[in-house]
Amino acid sequence: MTQTLSVLFFGDIVGRPGRDALSLVLTSQEKYFSEKFDFIIANVENASHGFGLTQKNHDQILSYGVNCMTSGNHIWDKKDIYQYIDTSDALIRPYNYHKSARGVGYRIFDDKILVINLLGKTFMQPVNCPFQAIDELSEKLNFNDKIVIVDYHAEATAEKISFARYASSLGVNAVIGTHTHVQTADERIFDEKCAFISDVGFTGAYDSVIGMDYESSVKRLITSIPERFDVASSSSRQINAVQIKFDRVNNRALEIKRFNFTYETTKEEHEG
Ligand SMILES: [Fe+2]
Ligand SMILES: [Fe+2]
């Protein structure tokens, strides 16, 4: 076993274009990435028709080789989540919902990798304070002997940076922002131990508005009348992810690298 643990983290997978892109890059990893990964995380809150996650898509994404699925505010959008969320051993939902919420907000993999999901507080639905939540978790779980990764699902970049610095002081080793679907170019390592990016971006239709159809999006903005959103049916796809390398001995993040690539699907792939 090498001394480095390499994690690949995909931004929000949006609808079928996102699932197809995820499947493609994970089934032919050597074509897209120069290195192998020890652990793969994907944010799946938009994986089924842009809203939520069905059990069928949950099982499909696991079969592609994803080890942990994180989520966000949209995780509740498909009704069948309530039927299977308590049986999944890979999916987490934001920890800082009310204690009555189904599912769990963190999971520990191989006694070593602790993945936590939190919702931000600025311009988001009111939830329990994420700063207080990470305080509680740092007291309850021993952060020192684990690689601690937080999916911080939030809108405001200033909040994400503030949270990452705070979490780093508590022993968190990576804070990866999700939710805005737009990849930021601010990846860095705080305190020589905590990897950070404001937003990892999304995986899905490239010719779109954050994965969704342009026509309904612009109509809603012009008229202010609710409009049904559909996943964009673009034949071009984008893949947004980050790779984080950790030292297995002291758990520190050593490196964070962004991936942002696009590709054109064949006619069969697009229509099939
Ligand atoms: Fe999302
Ligand atoms: Fe979200």
Report the separation in Å between the CA atom of 45 and the middle of ligand 2, taken as the mean of its atom positions: 7
pLDDT band for position 226 (cuts 50, 70, 90): confident
For residue 91, give both structure tokens.
């999916």
As a whole number, mean pLDDT of residues 31-52 equals 96
Selected catalytic residue, list 58, 74, 153, 181:
74
Rounded distance between C-alpha atoms, residue 63 and residue 152, angstroms: 25
- Is 0.85 surpassed by the pTM of this model? yes
Between the CA of 13 and the centroid of ligand 1 the distance, in Å, is: 8
**Secondary structure of residue 214 in the 3-state scheme:** helix
The number of the ligand nearest the C-alpha atom of 13 reads 1
CA of 247 to the centre of ligand 2 (A): 30
E strands in 14-130:
39-43, 68-70, 106-109, 113-119
Please give the distance, rounded to the nearest whole angstrom, from the Cα atom of residue 231 to the centre of ligand 2.
Answer: 15
Point out the ligand nearest to the CA of residue 211.
1
| pLDDT for 270 | 67
CATH T-level assignment (fold) for domain 4-205+234-271:
Purple Acid Phosphatase; chain A, domain 2 (3.60.21)
Which ligand is closest in space to the CA of residue 153? Answer: 2
Over residues 63-69, mean pLDDT: 98
CA nearest 202: which of 9, 14, 8?
Answer: 14
Say whether 74 is catalytic.
Answer: yes
Res 152 pLDDT > 90: yes
pLDDT above 90 for 1: no
The whole-number pLDDT of residue 272 equals 58
Mean pLDDT over 230-256 rounds to: 96
- Report the pLDDT value the prediction gives residue 257, as an integer from 0 to 100: 98
- CA–centroid distance, residue 179 to ligand 1 (Å): 4
* DSSP code of residue 265: P
CA 202 / ligand 1 centre spacing (Å)? 8
Of 9, 140, 5, which is closest to residue 68 (Cα–Cα)? 9
Give the Å distance between the CA of 51 and the centre of ligand 2.
9
Give pLDDT, residue 16: 97
Q: Exposed, middle or buried, 118 (CB in 10 Å: 0-12/13-18/19+)?
A: buried
- Asked if residue 180 lies in contact with residue 13, where contact means CB atoms within 8 angstroms, the answer is no
Output the average pLDDT for the chain.
96
Check pLDDT > 70 for residue 267: no
